[in-house]
Amino acid sequence: MSRKQLNIGLFGFGCVGLGLYEVLQKSPALRANIRNICVRDKDKPRTIGAENFTFDKNDILNDESINVVVELIDDADAAFEIVSAALRKGKAVVSANKKMVAEHFTELLELQREYNVPLLYEAAACASMPIIRNLEEYYDNDLLESIEGIVNGSTNYILTKTFSENLSYADALKQAQDLGFAESNPILDTGGFDAKYKLLILLAHAFGYIATPADLFNIGIDNIGELELKYAKEKGFKIKLVAQAYKAADGSLSAFVIPKFVTPDDRLYNVDDVFNGVITKTSFADTHFFVGRGAGAYPTASAVLSDISALSYEYKYEYKKIYREEDVRLTNEAELKVLLRHRREDAELFKLHFSTVEEAYTNHDSGYITGNITLQSLKALQEKHSGEISFILINVVTETEKAAAAQVVSA
């Protein structure tokens, strides 16, 4: 199959845009050239000549010689305007913008169908790690049971530095930003939102389920305190921000993002710094483990490059699992064993939500409870007391454990 000539209109020339520009110079076999670059700030110094840039998106969108738009900007609303206009004009699109894809998944699906043009976004989930195309293609015939992983590079970097090198949270965040790993708005990373957007994209390709961001529960790392770090160190655990989804035999799907104590025998334990790691579990193959750099200019650009290359062979996502319309529904019934840190005076209130509770107090003003709680109750607690409490997942309670606990109660 011969390769299609690609004439690219690039939006954004920041960390990833510049990375892509450089990577493309080193990939002559790909029949792709950048025709025009649209950026926002007229006064910013650039590393290449001013003749390469425009500040008007229509210079790209209305240029009929441009057949591919690569969108690498840090503004999700503006990105959606650009991407939807490009698709309407019949241009193929590559994007790295998980917030934009997650917030407009259904509309983007419709636009691709209506205008018969592809939109690829491998870099939007786990940057350099090829997960979307694997979920989309490889697992089509092997029943996928669960996906679990570290999908946000900057929080993993922050947790690694605060945990192993005793760096303060603020210093670790600043380092992640200086290295180009963090989002322009840090709460997207530290609040677990970025991980949630990625989980939403993975759910669509893994299980054919389209969620909205509001459907999925996320807790970030910004409330993790000394007590949890101490608890983890004493027990030989690490704390990782983990996104997970698992499907039960009846089609119910649990999906959430939460910091988790990870034990040394867990493959995620050694996924440190800016790396991402995802474990997939299937009915016949058992587990697979993907690992790769989850942020940074060249690693992210490499995934964008891979999408551009795929376009040159006219690849597009077929969204087979979505169109198969299997009966998959989201549930908040999952039972989680968590450690919850709280203010001492609120202890009674929290206990109401737990089915089993073990409790301990430090000699400070806060205490902690470990116990089993449903995702629904956890959600209610977080909505009411966000900022005052922190939760860390110990493990998801399995059906076997639930049955054993029920037997003890009835005996």
Catalytic residues: 198
- CA 262, distance to chain mean position in Å, is 18
CB of 98 to ligand NAP, least distance (A): 6
For the chain, the residue count is 411
β-partners of residue 29 are: none
Do 1 and 313 meet the contact criterion of CB atoms below 8 Å apart?
Answer: yes
Q: What DSSP string runs through 104-143?
A: THHHHHHHHHHHT--EE-GGGTTTTS--HHHHHHGGGSS-
Nearer to ligand NAP, 11 or 237 (CB): 11
Locus of tokens 């709460």: 187
CB of 153 to ligand NAP, least distance (A): 7
Nearer to ligand NAP, 69 or 322 (CB): 69
Quote the strand ranges of 193-251, DSSP E.
Answer: 217-218, 238-247
Which residues in the 288-307 window bind ligand NAP by CB under 6 A?
295-296, 300
- CA 227, distance to chain mean position in Å, is 27
Residue 387 CB neighbour total at 10 angstroms: 8
CB of 189 to ligand NAP, least distance (A): 10
Residue 170 CB neighbour total at 10 angstroms: 10
Stretch that binds ligand NAP, among 39-47, 143-151, 159-167, 169-177 (CB under 6 A): 39-47
The residue from 59, 75, 346, 359 that contacts ligand NAP (CB under 6 A) is: 75
The residue from 10, 32, 34, 39 that contacts ligand NAP (CB under 6 A) is: 39
Contact flag: residue 213 with ligand NAP (CB under 6 A): no
CB of 37 to ligand NAP, least distance (A): 9
Nearer to ligand NAP, 32 or 123 (CB): 123
3-state secondary structure of 182: coil
Nearer to ligand NAP, 96 or 159 (CB): 96
Stretch that binds ligand NAP, among 66-74, 132-140, 142-150, 369-377 (CB under 6 A): 66-74
Phi-psi region of 99 (alpha: psi -120 to 50; beta: other; left: phi over 0): alpha
Contact flag: residue 173 with ligand NAP (CB under 6 A): no
> Which residues contact ligand NAP by CB under 6 A?
11-17, 38-41, 44, 72-75, 78, 96-97, 123, 127, 180-181, 183-184, 295-296, 300
